[in-house]
Amino acid sequence: MTPITLPDFTPGRPAAQVDAALRQALAACDRARECAVLWFAEAQRRRLYRDLGYPSLETYATQELGFSQNRYWQFKRLADDLDRLPALKEAVADGELGWTKAQQVARVATPETQDHWVAIATTTGRRELEQAVRQLRRRKSSHKSAIAPAAQIPMLNTPATPAAPPPSTITLRADAIQLARFEALLEKAHKLGLVPAGADRLDAVLAGLEALVTAAAPAPATGPAVQIIVYQCPDCGAAAITTPRGELPLAPAQVDALACDACIRQPGQANRATIPPKTRATVLARDRHRCATPGCGATRFLEVHHVTPRARGGTNQPDNLVAPAQVREECRRGG
């Protein structure tokens, strides 16, 4: 990777020199982002955030690196794509492709077509590449609407944080007594391990609501207290969740994590659980219904995920399954 050089700022330069310095600075910004994504993908692939004391990549990125949710999912999505498309990753690492072009290629390339798209990206301009990607996605969209309805995937016990549009805002008002009670309950809930390590306040509120629902109508040992439904296109893989605030799209990384422990429904076919209910109950019992992530121990929002993803040869045997709490980014494509 070539060194990044920034021009020294000196006011009063002629227009041509200012233009050249600005272009050099912008090129350095793009290269810095490419470098950051490669390191981010390395931290994800080797789970190095655990060595740093964080239970999840998202917690590490938002608390240690200062990422917003939108920036986290942007980095997460491209890191997943670089892992999925080694030819694209090599082109980025060698400096052949910049940040913007890499994002465009990742939107349409597959492991079978990645070399073709990398070649196009390295020999055409940014606008021409964007136009080619847009045309292909438009054709896929027309084909999708003409031939098939979306598959319905009820996802188990997992909150969805959309990459776009930005996360929704929920506002609660409290008087002095309610605020003091909230803070005291929140502190005690964390001390008792009732919410996942690194969880935010919304996670704690959701855990409390889940406890109320479970107490009134206990969930079966093989399933969660509630389910959410995600609709996914069988052709392009795009997915969205329907909410009272409208239909919100999900990032591919979110869909991958959700699909790891889900019940899949397709028209004309029997429902299929990605992890058999009996196996799921066995894993939860083995882990004593507590989060298996070191340093967490939460008892709410438990999921079952694969240690070695199925796409890499992992099985549904209990020794390849673990029960973490809301690990939204652990499972890669194919769960």
Range of the domain at 252: 151-168+177-322
Asked whether residue 35 is assigned to any structural domain, the reply reads yes
Query: Which two three-digit tokens encode residue 326?
Result: 């809301």
- Greatest alpha-carbon pair distance for the chain in Å reads 73
Query: Which two three-digit tokens encode residue 194?
Result: 């009732």
Asked whether residue 6 is assigned to any structural domain, the reply reads no
Separation of CA 225 from chain center: 23
Asked whether residue 4 is assigned to any structural domain, the reply reads no
Looking at the structure, tell me whether residues 54 and 69 fall in a common domain: yes
Q: Looking at the predicted structure, is the pLDDT value of residue 48 above 80?
A: yes
Looking at the structure, tell me whether residues 141 and 159 fall in a common domain: no
Looking at the structure, tell me whether residues 181 and 111 fall in a common domain: no
Q: Which of 93-97, 140-144, 155-159, 247-251 has the lowest mean pLDDT?
A: 155-159
Query: Which two three-digit tokens encode residue 66?
Result: 């200062």
Looking at the structure, tell me whether residues 156 and 108 fall in a common domain: no
Residue 335: band (very low, low, confident or very high) from pLDDT cuts 50, 70, 90:
very low
Looking at the structure, tell me whether residues 308 and 277 fall in a common domain: yes
| Alpha-carbon distances of 46 from 50, 113, 325, rounded to whole Å | 9, 26, 20
CB 69 within 8 A of CB 165: no
Asked whether residue 1 is assigned to any structural domain, the reply reads no
Looking at the structure, tell me whether residues 161 and 267 fall in a common domain: yes
Looking at the structure, tell me whether residues 190 and 138 fall in a common domain: no
What's the total number of domains in the chain?
2
Asked whether residue 330 is assigned to any structural domain, the reply reads no
Q: Could you report the per-residue pLDDT of 170-195, keeping only the tens digit for each?
A: 777 777 777 777 888 877 877 777 76
Looking at the structure, tell me whether residues 136 and 155 fall in a common domain: no
What is the reported pLDDT for 15? 92
Which residues contact residue 285 at a Cβ distance below 8 angstroms, ignoring those fewer than 6 apart?
Answer: 221
* Three-class SS state of 111: coil
Q: Could you report the per-residue pLDDT of 57-88, keeping only the tens digit for each?
A: 888 888 889 888 778 888 888 888 888 888 98
Which residue type is seen at 146? A
Q: Looking at the predicted structure, is the pLDDT value of residue 329 above 80?
A: no
Looking at the structure, tell me whether residues 157 and 292 fall in a common domain: yes
Task: Give the residue with greater pLDDT, 38 vs 213.
Answer: 38
Looking at the structure, tell me whether residues 78 and 192 fall in a common domain: no
What integer is the mean pLDDT of 136-156? 50
Tell me, what CATH number does 81's domain have? 1.10.10
What is the reported pLDDT for 147? 40
Q: Could you report the per-residue pLDDT of 203-248, keeping only the tens digit for each?
A: 778 777 877 776 776 555 455 556 777 888 777 778 887 776 667 7
Looking at the structure, tell me whether residues 161 and 100 fall in a common domain: no
Asked whether residue 305 is assigned to any structural domain, the reply reads yes
What integer is the mean pLDDT of 276-295? 76
Q: How far apart are CA 85 and CA 113, in angstroms?
A: 9
What integer is the mean pLDDT of 33-57? 86
Task: Give the residue with greater pLDDT, 4 vs 266.
Answer: 266
Q: How far apart are CA 165 and CA 176, in angstroms?
A: 33
Q: Looking at the predicted structure, is the pLDDT value of residue 145 above 70?
A: no
Looking at the structure, tell me whether residues 189 and 225 fall in a common domain: yes
Residue 281: band (very low, low, confident or very high) from pLDDT cuts 50, 70, 90:
confident
What is the reported pLDDT for 210? 74
